Amino acid sequence: MYKLIFRPLLFLFDPEKAHKIALFSLKLVLRIPLLNLVYKHSGMRKNGGIDCMGLTFKNRIGLAAGFDKDGKYIQDLSQLGFGFIEIGTITPKPQDGNPKPRLLRLKKDQALLNRMGFNNEGVEAMVTRLKGSSYNAIIGGNIGKNKTTPNKGSDADYLFCFDRLYDLVDYFVVNVSSPNTPDLRALQDKEPLTKLLSTLQSSARSKSVMKPILVKIAPDLTRDQIRDIIDIVKFTDIAGVVATNTTIVRENLLSKTSNLGAGGISGLPVREKSNDVIRQLRAGLPKEKVIIGVGGIFTLEDAEAKIKAGADLVQVYTGFIYEGPSMVRQMVDL
């Protein structure tokens, strides 16, 4: 039904507007008794839950950050069968993000090009929203820095979001890999990333309950840089890595992108790049370190390839937009 009716209608609109329409429609559909039977799913895996990072996930399939930036649709999205929902990226202060248009479809490549720029309502709005609600879902908090904060002062931004959200989410993802905030990817370098993750780990250790921290990395890192990430994860003893964010490489695309401006590409073009990064991480990390695989998952076979490469859990985003809610129930028992 989604691919035959809803997707063609949604794709008539600008992608950002279509996203808002889709989320509003989801909320409406789930409240109509007969229609909600089509999409609603418990998310329970036949072989039982997945124990990971000290948490028990209903299944391995999560929704990646960026889809519900401000945590407004957690309960609705969780009813589609997702094992976990990652909200954000959240920054200390509200920010508008980059000028529109900033989200584009590359239909020939089954991809998206985005340069959103961490648009969100800020961490205090998120805190208020989460405190006023209860969710039947594992929630990840994806945190970042404000665009106006220089890299030298970025640790304070991450720590502020971390501390404000600590009692309200189940795990954290440190986003240092978006290509849409100037110089952000420089924070993936060994020295600043070690310092940042050590600061957050120290804060976590001071709490009554220690929560998992992962770092989200780009698919465009060199092998030496990936080895540095492995060393950093071991040294700081964080829970693991989310691999990967969007790519800035535009090779072998069917769509013409030279006139579309800057941005990161998600979807099928990043699938194999992500799998390669996962394999390298798994080869170098201890078994107990968690890898969440992201990038180019459209089918059960795509998700299985991530697990085979070494991922413990997976997340979807662009594939969810192209394939619709039914893809989740097809993967629940992975």
Q: Is omega for the bond preceding 325 within 30 degrees of 0, making it cis?
A: no
Are the CB atoms for 298 and 322 separated by under 8 Å? yes
Catalytic residue among 78, 177, 178, 266: 178
Are the CB atoms for 113 and 104 separated by under 8 Å? yes
Phi first, then psi, for residue 236 (nearest 5°) are: -85, -15
**CA separation (Å) from 207 to 163, 166, 290?**
10, 9, 22
CB atoms within 10 A of CB 316: 24
d(CA 248, CA 216): 15
Are the CB atoms for 311 and 291 separated by under 8 Å? yes
Q: What angle do CA 309, 272, 291 make, to 5 degrees?
A: 40
Active site residue 208: no
Nearest to 297, CA basis, from 333, 323, 261: 323
CB atoms within 10 A of CB 172: 26
Provide the 3-class DSSP secondary structure of residue 211: coil
Burial of 286 (0-12, 13-18, 19+ CB in 10 A): exposed
Residues with a known catalytic role: 178
